[in-house]
Structure 1
Amino acid sequence: MKNKSFRLLLMLAALAVFVLAACGTDKKEEPAKDGDSKEGETAKTEDIKFLSLLTGGTQGTYYALGGTFADLITEGTGIKTTAEVSQASAANVTGLDTDKGQIGFLQTDIAYYATEGEFMFEGKKVDSISALGALYPETVQLVTIGKSGIKTYEDLKGKKVSVGAPGSGTYANAEQLLEIHGLTMDDIKAQNLDFGESVDGLQSGQIDAAFITAGTPTGAVEALNATADVYIVPVGEGKADALIEKYPYYAKDTVKEGTYGLKEDIETVSVIAMLAVRNDLPEDVVYNMTKAIYDNAEKISHAKGEFIKAENGLTGIGIPVHPGAQKYFDEVNK
């Protein structure tokens, strides 16, 4: 009996030593890779090996600029950056929030909705993103072709109209412009198409008009102008003021005569294109990204490059600015 008790004590003692040893062992955690970090933590600069820049459809301005921006960021930070095709603004918010991308093109209105939990982000407030900087005006273009007979917003009633890809900023713009003209999505035959699909639909007659929110000239619309008589439907008289009063992130804008072969200026509205980043990117990385873009704006061959200036970098930004970007703009805009 004594031997059994002694053996039992030995076993318990050995077990206690094992447990204490296990508890005292230092745990080794895997470092964040490719820009990933635990929620609420900032990634370490040395652990970031790759960055994804979320753009838009292949025929939009975001994508056209994205390749150049990715090259500038790669050169300026030493971190390989790749431009990725996406469904644009609202989808890019989700992509940033889920870390599918670390940098993304957004419209200023969509960025505001996301961080405030409004409109398409109602009940889904996003607090993981901040602004890198403003870029250029994004013109809301209601595109049709001459033979459609559409000359005003009111003419859209009962027509097949592309209102943008699901989750895009274009959809929000379409809904708000229809509203200010006394229409709703129920008054039209709404089609969820991206820019390229919209152009194909207009060329084939499958749709009658398309909302396209992008910097002008937009590649997709230029392509359409090569085969059809493009017409941009103007915002109704007094409607721009009413829209801006209700949604102050809009501004009056003009598609100039000669663009897409237009024979006169067309009055419309615009929002502002911006770049956003994940909050957990290190300050020095975002500083270098911001510097790489704004210090090298002359290397941007797209027509919208002329608007990308450090002095305008915080214009129209309605969300918090990343500390790295703020540091850059504070330095250059003294």
Structure 2
Amino acid sequence: MKVSIRKTLLAAAFVAPGLMMNTAPAAESYNLTVAGASPGGLWSLLGAGLDSALKAEYPGSTVTYQTSGGGIANVAVLQRGDASLAIIEDAVLQLARDGEAPFREPAKDDIRVLSYLYTWAPMQAFIREEFAKEHGIETFADIAEVKPPITIAINKRGNIASSVAVAMLDAIGASPEEVESWGGKIIYAASGEQSSLIQDRRIDMFLNSLFVRQSSIMQAGGSVDLSLLPISEETISTVTAKTGTQPFVIPGGAYEWAPNDTPTVSISAALAVRSDMKDETAYNLTKALYENYEKIANVHPAMKSLTPEIMASVEVIPYHDGALRYLKEAGLR
């Protein structure tokens, strides 16, 4: 019995190292947080999509959605290292890059991007058709030409859509101060409130960054006749340069009250990281997201337009070096 045991142990001594040499190393996995905005809504769904995409490439990985004050707050969240990833709008990234209010100093060396998540949240200027006809308003620029006593709702202060709306009004000579001088008013209200306000005829127009045919728009259009005002090429050029937004065309027929193509600008959202993230980590994350982008595109019908080419089109802030290496290998940059 002793001899038998000794032979077994000797055999194990020679076999075990061989087994260890042939065993594949454990697959890479990541445990990350992504700073978004409030719970619920599209950004929380995007967090789930990021989690699915990473899991598909690196089983056992997790991306946890972390609520925050939104894109502007997420710059500081990244800078403090309170999250691994953050969803931040391009207009916010430009403000941070240039150190413009509410930022005190440029953040261009702190923040990098891995991907766009969407580029189609256009600024839409909906006006009550009755008011527009009464005052002869057919385009966005007509507001400044006519100088009517118009009440306009834009998003709440601190929301980047509010800042872009003010930039658009400034570009045509209809700043909040000027609107008030005509007997009008600027109201700051969230998207859902804007829909109710125009249905109740307490405002004449709302100007906000919304997905085309978003439910709040369709609800308003079902209760009151609306017109969608086109933005001039000159205004678009001025606003995109100032805010980091992009030109966008709302296709004719998207709404029954807007049969023609309507040019405007769009706010986009990018996935940002700290610039000191390890190159290999940024490379792996980027690879996972781009090669499993359908996981992100499938989180909501509004995301169906997502493609790797769109994801690779950020210009306002540089891509992380690790991300750029993957994009060049994939022929996307």
The one of 312, 317, 320 aligned to 1:319:
317
Contact 2:155 2:161 in 1 (8 A): yes
Is 1:141 the counterpart of 2:124 in the alignment?
yes
User: What are structure 1's unaligned runs of at least 5 residues?
Assistant: 1-44
The match for 1:36 is none
Q: Percent identity?
A: 22
The one of 120, 142, 158 aligned to 1:167:
158
The match for 2:230 is 234
1:270-329 alpha-carbon deviations (Å, 9 max, x no partner):
243322123344434433332333222334234554543333433242223223322321
User: What are structure 2's unaligned runs of at least 5 residues?
Assistant: 1-27, 180-184
> Which runs of structure 2 are paired with 1:1-334 in the superposition (5 Å)?
49-55=31-37, 58=40, 61-63=42-44, 65-77=46-58, 78-121=60-103, 123-126=104-107, 127-137=109-119, 138-149=121-132, 151-153=138-140, 154=143, 158-188=149-179, 189-236=185-232, 238-244=234-240, 246-247=241-242, 249-264=244-259, 265-299=261-295, 300-301=297-298, 302-333=300-331
1:4-26 alpha-carbon deviations (Å, 9 max, x no partner):
xxxxxxxxxxxxxxxxxxxxxxx
Could you state the TM-score of these two structures normalised by the residue count of structure 1? 0.70
1:25-83 alpha-carbon deviations (Å, 9 max, x no partner):
xxxxxxxxxxxxxxxxxxxx98x644133146855x54554433343345545443233
Aligned in 2, Cα 1:332/1:290: closer, same or farther, shift over 3 Å? same
Q: Quote how far apart the aligned CAs of 1:147 are.
A: 4.5
* CA distance in structure 2 between the partners assigned to 1:263 and 1:115 by the alignment: 36
The match for 1:19 is none
Contact 1:164 1:193 in 2 (8 A): yes
Contact 2:35 2:77 in 1 (8 A): no
Contact 1:160 1:191 in 2 (8 A): yes
* CA distance in structure 1 between the partners assigned to 2:166 and 2:66 by the alignment: 27
Aligned in 2, Cα 1:168/1:79: closer, same or farther, shift over 3 Å? farther
* CA distance in structure 2 between the partners assigned to 1:185 and 1:119 by the alignment: 18
Three-state SS of the structure 1 residue aligned to 2:199 is: helix
Contact 1:87 1:167 in 2 (8 A): no
Aligned in 2, Cα 1:201/1:111: closer, same or farther, shift over 3 Å? same
Aligned in 2, Cα 1:316/1:282: closer, same or farther, shift over 3 Å? closer
Q: Quote how far apart the aligned CAs of 1:236 are.
A: 3.8
Aligned in 2, Cα 1:280/1:195: closer, same or farther, shift over 3 Å? farther
Q: Following superposition, which runs of at least 4 residues in structure 1 exceed 6 angstroms of deviation?
A: none
Three-state SS of the structure 1 residue aligned to 2:325 is: helix
* CA distance in structure 2 between the partners assigned to 1:140 and 1:223 by the alignment: 18
* CA distance in structure 1 between the partners assigned to 2:262 and 2:244 by the alignment: 20
Aligned residues between the structures: 286
Aligned in 2, Cα 1:63/1:185: closer, same or farther, shift over 3 Å? farther
1:125-150 alpha-carbon deviations (Å, 9 max, x no partner):
22432111224323121234434536
Q: CA RMSD in A?
A: 3.3
Deviates more, 1:311-320 or 1:172-181: 311-320
* CA distance in structure 2 between the partners assigned to 1:156 and 1:68 by the alignment: 46
Q: Quote how far apart the aligned CAs of 1:84 are.
A: 4.5
1:112-169 alpha-carbon deviations (Å, 9 max, x no partner):
2202212432x33224321112243231212344345365431685433332233222
Aligned in 2, Cα 1:273/1:49: closer, same or farther, shift over 3 Å? closer
